[in-house]
């Protein structure tokens, strides 16, 4: 979409991204952590449920690395279900009969929000690698501008898993007075060396693809399919667990009775991963993948507070509910517990639940009844202490 | 973490928890260490307008608490109290759990660092029935209050009321109140807190503070 348009609009063209968008930063640009000024820029977002008169029933959902604003219902771009259909909807934990759920595509994304695939207003051509590096805090600042635009001052609850959990945490640190409750799920206060290492494999797969053209593939009418696909395959492994993979695939062969003694996709798990890679390429921009993985790698609340994470939460008025999963080796319980300890040290109001699940990091997206129960209860408790203004 | 009969939070709260609740002032900040299913926290929030937090070892207990809207974290009294700032609570509560921790003295000291006061309840290994069983049968006692076999119990540091009072003295902890109770937590007023408490009470409930504080 054209990022220089300065009015709210609904885009429905088949080539462009469907959904709501708003152009922000027209008068005052957003100053990014890198020092670069960005503006005007477009934010694509979706809302679910009704905003009440007091504007006090807002749940801000932050999506993960490859998620988008289409939380539930059919994603008009992919034609598939949204990514959190079990969490958001009438009667569900984020009950849209009661709450007004907002989700925006992150800055640097590729579902309508300004990112490396968008046209640079200065050149009229896609940014590519000239797009500034984005941080988690930049994403959160842009979301705050969106809420300002919507006339929403305070959020009842902010939540998200993985990179979405990082944003939820960042919200409580950057705008503590605007956040009554926060539910970061399967997240961390910083990306670990292992997390960064896995991302680097993905990035190098993309950048090593000759179709990447130094990031300028759009001008060459190309897409680094192989690279992006391998990046997705590697990442996808990290979202599962050994147990989940074994249960689903074992060593079963794909469409064959015996080994081929070659390098085709003999095994079901290979076939599955290749499929995941191919599907991903159709819906995700390779440069966006570079930028968003970088944003996660750079996230380090602990370093930002000179090694004392508790200082990030001193005097926090927010009620926290930290959730981790036993089978998540990418954002393990230990990383989540680090956040809990810091919150305790800051005498913040915190609940912490570790959910028994062997489904890996992706568990937060799946049917985990205990997680739903926890969130329902936590929101009930948070609502009892909520008058529409944070303490 | 806590042992003994469970109950629906709030409705049929265990009598021994009511005894603890009686020692806590209205409107105070309470950390319940080993909060089980959250019955005490729920009761305190409902009846005494207490701002309560909990730590619980068992994941099932934590999840039950959070699902009720209580602020509870999964954690271990032996290792996780160190994260809490000094004097951040009016009361730190440890109900029927001291005998289960690895280092009771350290935990006690931590509770009185975090809370201005501590409320502790302990089963009494000096109760006459325990002494009788050990003396007569020569085997580890199993009583109505201590129901599990030695190899099957989470209790690793049994003490008597006398032992506990001595530990408090050694740690310069002041005992503000001491209530003798039977195993269900019914007050045993006739026992008092004197020498007979160690023989006749099945549990002791103590309100503790540091001299010069509280």
Q: What is the mean pLDDT of chain A?
A: 94
pLDDT at A368: 96
pLDDT at A9: 43
Sorting pLDDT into bands at 50, 70 and 90, what band is B59? confident
Per residue in A58-102, pLDDT tens?
999 999 999 999 999 999 988 999 999 999 999 999 999 999 999
- A255 has catalytic annotation: no
- Please tell me which of the candidates B53, B66, B88 has its beta carbon nearest to residue A321: B66
- B-chain residues near A325 (CB < 8 A): none
The shortest C-alpha distance from A143 to chain B (Å) reads 28
The shortest C-alpha distance from A94 to chain B (Å) reads 14
- A162 has catalytic annotation: yes
**Interface probe with A: pick from B29, B69, B90, most Cβ of A within 10 Å:** B69
The shortest C-alpha distance from B59 to chain A (Å) reads 7
What is the mean pLDDT of the segment spanning A256-263?
A: 94
pLDDT at A18: 59
pLDDT at B95: 94
- A220 has catalytic annotation: no
Residue B7 pLDDT > 50, yes or no? Answer: no
The shortest C-alpha distance from B88 to chain A (Å) reads 7
Catalytic residue (choose from A95, A138, A328, A362): A328
Per residue in B72-116, pLDDT tens?
999 999 999 999 999 999 999 999 999 999 999 999 999 999 999
**Interface probe with B: pick from A318, A334, A347, most Cβ of B within 10 Å:** A347
Per residue in A145-186, pLDDT tens?
999 999 999 999 999 999 999 999 999 999 999 999 999 999
Per residue in A315-366, pLDDT tens?
999 999 999 999 999 999 999 999 999 999 999 999 999 999 999 999 999 9
Q: What are phi and psi of A36, to 5 degrees?
A: -70, 145
Residue A15 pLDDT > 70, yes or no? Answer: no
Spatial separation of the C-alpha atoms in residues B57 and B63, rounded to whole Å:
11
Pair type for strands B71-74 and B51-56: parallel
Q: What are phi and psi of A333, to 5 degrees?
A: -55, -40
pLDDT at A311: 97
Sorting pLDDT into bands at 50, 70 and 90, what band is B10? very low
Sorting pLDDT into bands at 50, 70 and 90, what band is B192? confident
Per residue in A229-251, pLDDT tens?
999 999 999 999 999 999 999 99
Partner-chain contact A353 B66, CB within 8 Å: yes
Partner-chain contact A349 B59, CB within 8 Å: no
Q: How far is CA A213 from CA A51, A133, A170, B145, in A?
A: 45, 19, 34, 75
Spatial separation of the C-alpha atoms in residues A160 and A167, rounded to whole Å:
7
Partner-chain contact B67 A354, CB within 8 Å: no
Sorting pLDDT into bands at 50, 70 and 90, what band is A389? low
DSSP at A253: B
The residue of chain B with its CA nearest to that of A378 is B69
pLDDT at B80: 92
Residue A380 pLDDT > 80, yes or no? Answer: yes
Contact indicator for B56, B35 with CB cutoff of 8 Å = yes
Partner-chain contact A319 B71, CB within 8 Å: yes
Contact indicator for A165, A186 with CB cutoff of 8 Å = yes
pLDDT at A390: 54
Those of residues 310-369 in A touching chain B at CB distance below 8 A are 319, 321-322, 340-342, 344-347, 349-356
Long-range (24+ apart) CB contacts under 8 A made by A144-148 are A144/A174, A144/A175, A144/A178, A145/A24, A145/A25, A145/A30, A145/A43, A146/A22, A146/A24, A146/A43, A146/A45, A146/A102, A146/A104, A147/A58, A147/A60, A147/A102, A147/A178
Contact indicator for A209, A290 with CB cutoff of 8 Å = no
Per residue in A45-67, pLDDT tens?
999 999 999 999 999 999 999 99
Residue A8 pLDDT > 50, yes or no? Answer: no
pLDDT at A314: 96
Tokens coding A104: 């925006």
- Please tell me which of the candidates A351, A377, A378 has its beta carbon nearest to residue B73: A351
Tally of CB atoms within 10 A around A339: 25
* Domains of chain A, start order: 9-191+299-384 (3.40.50.1820), 195-295 (1.10.1740.110)
CATH fold for the domain made of B15-125+158-209:
Rossmann fold (3.40.50)
Spatial separation of the C-alpha atoms in residues A168 and A277, rounded to whole Å:
28
pLDDT at B1: 42
Residue B3 pLDDT > 60, yes or no? Answer: no
Contact indicator for B179, B19 with CB cutoff of 8 Å = yes
pLDDT at A6: 40
Q: Where are the domains of chain B?
A: 15-125+158-209
Spatial separation of the C-alpha atoms in residues A169 and A318, rounded to whole Å:
10
Tally of CB atoms within 10 A around A321: 26
ipTM of this predicted structure: 0.85
pLDDT at B11: 53
Q: What are phi and psi of A240, to 5 degrees?
A: -100, -170
Tokens coding A244: 């989940």
Sorting pLDDT into bands at 50, 70 and 90, what band is A19? confident
- Please tell me which of the candidates B59, B67, B71 has its beta carbon nearest to residue A376: B67
Residue B14 pLDDT > 90, yes or no? Answer: no
Catalytic residue (choose from A162, A238, A288, A324): A162
- B-chain residues near A319 (CB < 8 A): 71
Residue A13 pLDDT > 90, yes or no? Answer: no
A102 or A385, which is more confident: A102
DSSP at A161: E
The shortest C-alpha distance from A346 to chain B (Å) reads 7
Q: Quick one: B192 exposed, middle or buried, by C-beta within 10 A (0-12, 13-18, 19+)?
A: middle
Per residue in B139-148, pLDDT tens?
999 988 888 9
CA A284 to chain centre: 13
- Please tell me which of the candidates A345, A353, A382 has its beta carbon nearest to residue B85: A345
Written in H, E and C, the secondary structure of chain B is CCCCCCCCCCCCCCHHHHHHHHCCCCCCEEEEECCCCCHHHHHHHHHHCCEEEEEECCHHHHHHHHHCCCEEEECCHHHHHHHCCCCCEEEEEEECCHHHCCCHHHHHHHHHHHEEEEEEEEECCCCHHHHHHHHHHCCCCCCCCCCCCCCCCCCCCCCCHHHHHHHHHHCCCEEEEEEEECCCCCECCCCCCCCCHHHHCCEEEEEEECCCCC
Q: Which of B145, B63, B195, B102 is nearest to A351 (CA)?
A: B63
């Amino acid at each position: 979409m054209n990022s220089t348009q300065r009015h709210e609009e609904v885009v429905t063209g088949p080539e462009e991204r469907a959904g709501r968008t708003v152009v922000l930063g027209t008068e005052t640009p957003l100053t990014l952590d890198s020092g670069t000024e960005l503006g005007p820029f477009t934010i694509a977002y979706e809302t679910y449920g009704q905003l009440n008169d007091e504007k006090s029933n807002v749940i801000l959902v932050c999506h993960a690395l490859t998620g988008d604003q289409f939380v539930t219902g059919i994603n008009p771009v992919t034609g598939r279900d949204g990514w959190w259909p079990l969490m958001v909807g009438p009667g569900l934990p984020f009950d849209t009969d009661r709450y007004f759920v907002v989700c925006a595509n992150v800055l640097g994304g590729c579902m309508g929000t300004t990112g490396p695939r968008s046209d640079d207003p200065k050149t009229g051509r896609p940014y590519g690698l000239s797009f500034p590096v984005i941080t988690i805090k930049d994403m959160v600042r842009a979301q705050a501008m969106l809420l300002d635009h919507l006339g929403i001052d305070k959020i009842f609850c902010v939540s998200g898993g993985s990179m979405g959990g990082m944003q939820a945490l960042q919200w409580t640190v950057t705008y503590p007075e605007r956040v009554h409750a926060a539910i970061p799920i399967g997240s961390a206060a910083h990306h670990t060396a292992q997390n960064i290492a896995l991302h680097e494999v993905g990035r190098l797969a993309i950048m090593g693809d000759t179709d990447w053209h130094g990031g300028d593939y759009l001008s060459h009418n190309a897409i680094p399919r192989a690279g992006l696909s391998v990046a997705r395959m590697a990442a996808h492994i990290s979202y599962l667990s050994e147990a989940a993979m074994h249960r689903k695939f074992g060593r079963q062969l794909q469409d064959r009775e015996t080994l081929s003694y070659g390098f085709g996709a003999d095994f079901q798990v290979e076939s599955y991963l290749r499929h995941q890679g191919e599907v991903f390429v159709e819906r995700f921009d390779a440069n966006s993948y570079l930028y968003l993985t970088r944003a996660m790698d750079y996230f380090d609340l602990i370093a930002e507070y000179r090694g004392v994470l508790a200082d990030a939460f001193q005097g926090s008025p927010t009620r926290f509910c930290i959730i981790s999963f036993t089978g998540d080796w990418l954002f393990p319980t230990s990383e989540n517990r680090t956040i809990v300890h810091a919150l305790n040290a800051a005498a913040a109001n915190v609940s912490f639940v570790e959910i028994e699940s062997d489904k890996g990091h992706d568990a937060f997206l799946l049917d985990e009844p205990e997680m739903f129960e926890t969130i329902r209860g936590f929101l009930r408790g948070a609502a009892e202490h909520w008058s529409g203004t944070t303490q | 973490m806590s042992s003994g009969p469970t109950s629906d939070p709030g409705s049929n709260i265990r009598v021994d928890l009511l005894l603890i609740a009686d020692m806590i002032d209205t409107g105070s900040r309470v950390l319940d260490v080993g909060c089980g299913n959250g019955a005490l926290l729920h009761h305190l929030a409902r009846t005494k307008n207490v701002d309560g937090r909990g730590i619980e070892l068992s994941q099932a207990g934590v999840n039950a608490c959070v699902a009720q809207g209580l602020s509870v974290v999964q954690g271990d009294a032996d290792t996780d109290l160190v994260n809490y700032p000094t004097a951040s609570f009016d009361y730190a509560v440890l109900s029927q759990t001291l005998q289960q921790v690895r280092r009771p003295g350290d935990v006690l000291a931590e509770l009185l660092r975090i809370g201005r006061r501590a409320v502790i309840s302990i089963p009494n290994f000096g109760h006459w029935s325990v002494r009788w069983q050990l003396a007569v049968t020569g085997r580890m006692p199993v009583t109505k209050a201590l129901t599990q076999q030695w190899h099957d119990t989470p209790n690793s540091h049994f003490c008597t009321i006398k032992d506990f009072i001595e530990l408090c003295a050694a740690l310069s902890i002041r005992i503000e109140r001491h209530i003798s109770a039977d195993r269900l937590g019914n007050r045993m007023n006739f026992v008092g807190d004197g020498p007979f408490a160690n023989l006749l009470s099945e549990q002791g409930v103590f309100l503790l503070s540091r001299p010069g504080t509280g």
